[in-house]
Chain A
């Protein structure tokens, strides 16, 4: 039930545009909402949004009563892109796992913070900033969390050399 309503609400962000195709190996997929097979992938909805749609998408989940699982990044160095992945899930028995992802160019990795909506995003975003150097615009305290306080490196970037 919640799956359909959430899907429709997220779909509405892409006003009438066709859902993105399945990603071909090696090519980045387009923005849009995809449903995934829960049995093999472990989540239901997979929405890729533009950075300026992020807050709207997260607000939909917040209003839908989802809780935040985690935030993380992926370095797609071949596409010269960085990706931020937001995981959401529910406390009730209407199981629905949603992931929101957004991609940005590696030269200018910046997305708005969602810590204004989910207070718990604060640490996750700091951690993602540690590991990938992704800047979360509007974050109240974007200093290293797990890395040393003077760290100027981002170990999960694929071109990181220790």
Chain B
């Protein structure tokens, strides 16, 4: 007869989540020291899709680097390319025609809605609800079709150029975008009825995974993560760029600090993006989409340049150190999810593993953007 199995009460075990795991939405690995179902300590392991985009930034000219930016965050790529062109335009002193900036804002916001839609579907799937993903992808498909028609790509856009755009939008795009807005508003109501009121969904998120405003500050969290912790911070409002000051829109902020607050922020943001698109289409001025005079090879004056933009995931920053040459001496990409993910290790201590996975979903991770 063998002795009965006995566990010591202080015994913990190591659980390896990832790098290939559906809940991590990409190749992310988390080493978790577990006490039963509770996490004692977690350590995130990064680098599985690291491609050294920053070195490429030093080896390529500014224009050659354009396509790289959309390989960071494949769900909301236009925001990142926008940051890059704005940084160069700021440093080189290029004035962009108004029409081009309006189209940039419209397409970026469409992309933001697409990104949030995919997040919404994937997040609810993390919690066990499969069908919202199908609805969300259907709506997102309309956006991708529109963007494909103007940019020529579905995900890895290279649409903005220094001083303007690669291609003007046509009437079909404007019509499609106008049709899309009321349809999307109807869908948002449907999502709300389908998901937000669901008692299981609420119980899984309400009061779970609190992230304090102070923790956000210490880790540099931005975007919906910070706004779900009561921080009224949106680069579009705090450091206005492009034509965003022309638009009337609100920044949704929730003070509960929990996973549900982060969910609500993103759901509200989609409506705000629709408002921006609506106003953008209404105000869209005629005119050129490309600046008339611009040097063939862009060289930036010696110095440091920083440009921040609000992407779907938070504040994306690009820092360029120029030595006056046609490529950057040093190019640093400050990615929002990198900082947002960083607080996971500390915040999930003492949490149930199922809550931690829901928490991870609420951070809206895109791994290639963390690893760069």
Report which A residues bind B (CB closer than 8 A).
23, 25, 36, 39-43, 46, 65-70, 72, 74-75, 85, 87, 89-93, 95, 97, 99, 118-120, 122-123, 131, 144-148, 155-156
Contact = CB atoms under 8 A, between A and B. Distances in A.
Contacts of A144: 47
Contacts, number: 112
A65 to B, nearest CB: 7
Contact of A46 (B55, B93, B304, B371): B304
A87 B91 CA distance: 18
Contact of A68 (B90, B220, B303): B220
A123 B338 contact: yes
B257 to A, nearest CB: 14
B238 interface: yes
Contacts of A69: 220, 308, 315, 317, 334
B321 interface: yes
A67 B220 contact: yes
Query: What band does the interface of chain B fall in when counting residues whose beta carbon is under 8 Å from A?
Result: 35 or more
Could you tell me the dominant secondary structure of chain A's interface residues? Answer: loop
Given A68-B220, A123-B338, A146 B308 contact: no
Given A131-B54, A146-B371, A70 B346 contact: no
B366 interface: no
Contacts of B54: 131, 156
Given A87-B319, A91-B232, A41 B219 contact: no
Interface string B303-347: 111111000000101010100100001101010001100110010
B216 interface: yes
A74 B321 CA distance: 8
Nearest to B329: A74
Given A42-B308, A87-B306, A91-B232, A67 B217 contact: yes
Interface of B: 46-47, 50, 52, 54-55, 58, 87, 90-91, 93, 216-221, 226, 231-233, 237-239, 302-308, 315, 317, 319, 321, 324, 329-330, 332, 334, 338-339, 342-343, 346, 371-372
16 contacts: A25-B302, A39-B90, A41-B303, A41-B306, A42-B305, A43-B306, A67-B220, A70-B332, A85-B304, A92-B233, A93-B238, A99-B306, A119-B219, A144-B47, A145-B46, A146-B50
B47 A147 contact: yes
